[in-house]
Chain A
Amino acid sequence: EPEVTQTPSHQVTQMGQEVILRCVPISNHLYFYWYRQILGQKVEFLVSFYNNEISEKSEIFDDQFSVERPDGSNFTLKIRSTKLEDSAMYFCASSGGTVNQPQHFGDGTRLSIL
């Protein structure tokens, strides 16, 4: 069964540095998402992306964050000037372009900011 794959599985970064989290969505999917889960809290929506542009974003997704689909397979989340509170598990998800197709999630990237 096709999967969403995320790399790296764990990223450790110094506060203030930039990080890029990478995702390869399922190949025939058209909608892409990022969510995050701070330890002990619920999974929160960050952003959705369709047709090479952001279709929806949450209040969390401020100017510190950006997303990009640099080629036909990758979908990235960039976090600039990281803060301690950015430490979380980040999940990528994708879904098809028709009704009745749910979002499929990757295994996540655990981001630790020191």
Chain B
Amino acid sequence: AQSVTQPDIHITVSEGASLELRCNYSYGATPYLFWYVQSPGQGLQLLLKYFSGDTLVQGIKGFEAEFKRSQSSFNLRKPSVHWSDAAEYFCAVGALGGSQGNLIFGKGTKLSVKP
């Protein structure tokens, strides 16, 4: 069955520290992978996506993610966290473009940032 696992429900980091949010997936075909961020009361904003090519993808707000097929992972990283990064982060797997199907989301990781 297709699924996405985000093993960390809540992470707290200090401002300026590095961040890594974990995501593992199970998908029958070649996955297309996404990270979305949700600030309180807001919708889901796309941070970055992977569909082919270079396994290290850059996104907005200084985030990057690395696709590791052998580990079925797509972890999100940021070298230096800002207080404004406090939000909930969702990893998702699905298809891109055309008659794409639905996105399958993980349960999310809530990020808190300490001053």
Question: Which partner residue on chain A sits nearest B39 by CB separation?
Answer: A107
Contact A56 B101 (CB under 8 A): yes
Bitwise, B81-109 to A at CB < 8 A (1) or not (0) is: 00000000010101011111111111110
Question: Which partner residue on chain B sits nearest A48 by CB separation?
Answer: B102
Contact A43 B43 (CB under 8 A): no
CB distance from B18 to the nearest CB of A (A): 26
Given contacts A31-B100, A50-B99, whether A42 and B34 have CB atoms under 8 Å apart is no
B105 CB contact (under 8 Å) in A43, A48, A95, A108: A43
Bitwise, A95-113 to B at CB < 8 A (1) or not (0) is: 1111111111111100000
Contact B102 A95 (CB under 8 A): no
Contact B103 A103 (CB under 8 A): yes
Question: Which partner residue on chain B sits nearest A108 by CB separation?
Answer: B43
Contact A58 B102 (CB under 8 A): yes
Answer whether residue B46 sits at the interface, using C-beta atoms and an 8 A cutoff: yes
Answer whether residue B44 sits at the interface, using C-beta atoms and an 8 A cutoff: yes
Given contacts A100-B51, A100-B96, whether A91 and B46 have CB atoms under 8 Å apart is no
Name B's A-contacting residues (CB within 8 A): 34, 36, 41-46, 49, 51, 90, 92, 94, 96-108
Please name 15 further chain A to chain B contacts, defined as beta carbons within 8 Å, in addition to the given A95-B97, A106-B43, sorted by A numbering. Answer: A31-B99, A35-B103, A42-B105, A45-B104, A50-B99, A56-B102, A95-B100, A99-B97, A100-B51, A100-B96, A100-B97, A102-B49, A105-B46, A107-B42, A108-B43
